[in-house]
Amino acid sequence: MADNAAGVADTFPKLLLRNAERFRSLPAMRHKDLGIWFTWTWAQMRDEVRAFSVGLMELGLRRGDKIAIIGKNKPRLYWAMCAAQALGAVPVPIYADSVADEMAYVIEHSEATFAIAEDQEQVDKLLSIADRLTHIRMTLYDELRGLRDYDHAHMMSIDDVQKIGRDKLASDPGALAQWQAEVDKGSASDLAIILYTSGTTGRPKGVMLSNANVMISADNGNKFDNLTEKDSVIAYLPIAWVGDHIFSYAQSYMAGYCVSCPEAAETVTEDRREIGTTYAFAPPRIYENLITLTMVRMADASRLKKAMFDYFIEHARKWGEKILNKEPVPLGARIIYGLGEFLVYGPLKNRFGISKVRIGYTAGEAIGPEIFRFFRSLGINLKQLYGQTEASVYITAQPDGEIYADTVGKPNIDVEVKVSPDGEVLFRSPGVFQGYYKDPEKTAEVKTPDGWVHTGDAGFMDEKSGHLKIIDRAKDVGRLNDGTLFAPKYIENKLKFFPNIREAVAYGDKRDFVCVMLNIDLTAVSSWAERNGVVYASYQELASHPRVYDLLRGHVEEVNRSLAEEKVMAGAQIRRFLILHKELDADDGELTRTLKVRRGFIADRYEPLIKGLYEGASEVDIATEVTFEDGRKGTLGARVRIADVMPMPAAPMEKAA
């Protein structure tokens, strides 16, 4: 790690001071507000964070305190992390879309004494659970709109906190030295942040990461992909997610590159295009949505444009990855690809806002191979990595020139990976977490005395490539009653390749055959319905329409055809499916805040539907509790149809020589 004026830069506040000298006039952070980009250099950001931190010190924030940070990607929420760390306090980011009950659990469990909220929405949630927050002394907020008439006895704007800090620095000659002394007390072993897991199997756990954990992992990630102060990213993923914390905070502080905050979630693509980001990350769902929107638009395009699009995309699928990998390609194919770049690929990448992306990553869950290859065929250096909150993200990543759709790469710098006899992946690295906050028993279950961490994922090392392959969550991999391997995520990813399918949940372990529950993608299916004269009045009505069932049956049959060609999976073809009457929702507990399926919870909630799938019913009545945006609950009743699908003949076994 690099040095700063005060010594070794082994904490993020020390890195900030180092960067303010080394990259003084380079942009550190941008934010688009009302259509205008505002920029802070590293020197300016140091001044903002310092004033914020001194203001917090004056309000009573002390070393070891926890400070909850709730909201979307805004500069001052990121500054709050560094401002707290400068005093030895520990930031605890919380998902902006958390319902009040989820928020209450994290704040109370972490024993946070301060809460920083983005806006009125988050303040209102905090006020609704105020009687449950026994440690909170003060709530601070970023946006004033709607909050002028609120009781400010225990509430204050960040503007006012920074003013307190600036006034203190201006009036007290010793204030700067006092603050610097607090910064100097920080060390690599200090707790830097607590990030709560998404809670796929129960209540979230608070993952404790030290400065060394996060900084070494971020630095190794920068070295792996040669990231420097010349790169830039756009911060749009949840600040409570470890991926955003590494890509939009830790790696930026280590390398000195600029982080841009979009105006709104709806403007991310446009804002990314304007900034021209060079380093990008998105979970598979984002890439799936981009393909869905593209295919929907092309379905409505003229016949000539559609034909041109189909021709060049097919050509890209054949030659694009070879060109990207700098493999030998016939001159004629290169010329056609170049024409496709001008007519299709270039405009498409510009539409996605990724024309200047030098390195793109996807992680969080498995991405469909077809989706992965689609983006690489356009000339985008999209790669996969495998990580966890407990690893400070990085476990494996794909080196340039070694990109395979079915692997997640080689162990990253300083990371060791091994596979247990029962197929579970374990890792050991400098990024290994300190433990789960206030939960030594869970920590002992996951982390061995010699530092190895159980990932809970089933996988194996590919002997040919030396890359890790992840099959599924270890607990989810099972067998049908006839012994056929059942890997639900593998089947679900094949289904989600189709733009009309937004989510899929497969069941089959210890059963005679595989069944799936599907969610339609409202954007794609409503566009299809409009083109095909299908009339509907609601999501529920569209999802239950017979022609929609016929449409999705075709997709399921395609997946079965694909499975039939794979010797290991041929017996796991889908026999029955249904289309859920509602979208799976994190507010209803069906998805995590990082949009992963909570398979066990869904099985319990929709038990009547699963029973109907396996008992041969043609339709099932069900009533489901739903949570509205304002927190109120209601009940949604429906009669759900169940459809049968014929399995495809398995591919003939190869004869022995």
Per-residue tokens: 31: 């934010």
User: What pLDDT does 231 receive?
Assistant: 96
- Beta bridge partners of residue 610, listed in sequence order: none
Within 10 Å of residue 418's Cβ, how many Cβ atoms? 12
Q: What angle do CA 141, 142, 144 make, to 5 degrees?
A: 85
Q: What angle do CA 17, 22, 25 make, to 5 degrees?
A: 95
**Whole-angstrom Cα distance, residue 264 to residue 122?**
16
The CA distances from residue 548 to 152, 287, 498, in Å, are: 53, 24, 13
Whether 284-355+357-473 shares its CATH topology with 478-644 is answered no
pLDDT band at 657 (very low <50, low <70, confident <90, very high): very low
- Of 611, 32, 93, nearest to 273 by C-alpha is 32
Rounded to an integer, the average pLDDT of 375-386 is: 94
**Whole-angstrom Cα distance, residue 529 to residue 399?**
43
User: Model confidence over 242-273: pLDDT tens digits?
Assistant: 999 999 999 999 999 999 999 998 899 999 99
Enclosing H/E stretch for 445: helix 440-446
**Is-contact 468 409, C-beta < 8 A?**
yes
**Whole-angstrom Cα distance, residue 29 to residue 74?**
10
Burial of residue 616, with CB atoms counted within 10 A of its CB: 0-12 exposed, 13-18 middle, 19 or more buried: exposed
Q: What angle do CA 38, 40, 46 make, to 5 degrees?
A: 150
- Of 563, 591, 404, 420, nearest to 487 by C-alpha is 563
Within 10 Å of residue 170's Cβ, how many Cβ atoms? 9
Handedness of CA 428, 431, 434, 439 (dihedral sign): negative
User: Model confidence over 284-305: pLDDT tens digits?
Assistant: 888 888 888 888 888 888 999 9
Within 10 Å of residue 145's Cβ, how many Cβ atoms? 8
The pTM assigned to this predicted structure is 0.85
User: What pLDDT does 5 receive?
Assistant: 42
Contacts of 171 (CB under 8 A, 6+ apart): none
- E-state strands within 318-397: 359-362, 382-388, 393-397
What does the CA dihedral 439, 194, 447, 445 come to, rounded to 10 degrees?
A: 30
User: What pLDDT does 77 receive?
Assistant: 98
User: Model confidence over 49-66: pLDDT tens digits?
Assistant: 999 999 999 999 999 999
**Whole-angstrom Cα distance, residue 378 to residue 394?**
26
**Is-contact 27 258, C-beta < 8 A?**
yes
Phi, psi of 227 (to 5 degrees): -85, 135
Handedness of CA 442, 584, 581, 299 (dihedral sign): negative
In this predicted structure, the answer to whether residue 4 has a pLDDT above a threshold of 50 is no
**Is-contact 589 603, C-beta < 8 A?**
no
Looking at residue 362, its amino acid is T
- The CATH class of the 3-28+39-210 domain is alpha beta
**Is-contact 226 279, C-beta < 8 A?**
no
Q: Does domain 478-644 have CATH number 1.10.275.10?
A: no
User: What pLDDT does 207 receive?
Assistant: 98
Per-residue tokens: 444: 């002992």
Helices (H), 111-241: 120-128, 158-171, 175-185, 211-225
Rounded to an integer, the average pLDDT of 41-54 is: 98
User: What pLDDT does 3 receive?
Assistant: 45
pLDDT band at 618 (very low <50, low <70, confident <90, very high): very high
Q: What is the DSSP letter of 118?
A: S
The CA distances from residue 340 to 315, 318, 335, 348, in Å, are: 8, 13, 9, 10
138 Cα distance to chain centroid: 30
Rounded to an integer, the average pLDDT of 505-521 is: 95
114 Cα distance to chain centroid: 26
Superfamily of structural domain 284-355+357-473: ANL, N-terminal domain (3.40.50.12780)
In this predicted structure, the answer to whether residue 632 has a pLDDT above a threshold of 80 is no
User: Model confidence over 565-615: pLDDT tens digits?
Assistant: 877 788 999 999 999 999 998 888 888 877 788 888 999 999 999 999 999
* Average pLDDT across the chain, whole number: 92
Per-residue tokens: 169: 């620095």
**HEC string of 545-606?**
CHHHHHHHHHHHHHHHHHHHCCCCCHHHCEEEEEECCCCCCHHHCCECCCCCECHHHHHHHC
pLDDT band at 366 (very low <50, low <70, confident <90, very high): confident
**Is-contact 94 240, C-beta < 8 A?**
yes
User: Model confidence over 128-187: pLDDT tens digits?
Assistant: 999 999 999 999 999 999 999 999 999 999 999 999 999 999 999 999 999 999 999 999
Burial of residue 160, with CB atoms counted within 10 A of its CB: 0-12 exposed, 13-18 middle, 19 or more buried: middle
| Number of helical (H) and strand (E) elements in the chain, helices listed first | 23, 30
User: What pLDDT does 630 receive?
Assistant: 62
Backbone Cα Rg of the chain: 26
- Of 521, 526, 577, nearest to 550 by C-alpha is 577
In this predicted structure, the answer to whether residue 411 has a pLDDT above a threshold of 80 is yes
**Whole-angstrom Cα distance, residue 321 to residue 329?**
10
Contacts of 264 (CB under 8 A, 6+ apart): none
In this predicted structure, the answer to whether residue 206 has a pLDDT above a threshold of 90 is yes
- Strands 453-461, 424-428: pairing is antiparallel
User: What pLDDT does 631 receive?
Assistant: 66
Reduced to 3 states, what is the DSSP secondary structure of residue 378? coil
**Whole-angstrom Cα distance, residue 169 to residue 51?**
8
Q: 227-231, 486-490, 532-536, 572-576: which has the minimum mean pLDDT?
A: 486-490
User: What pLDDT does 443 receive?
Assistant: 96
Counting Cα atoms < 13 Å in the Cβ hemisphere of 383 gives: 24
Domain layout of the chain by residue ranges: 3-28+39-210, 284-355+357-473, 478-644
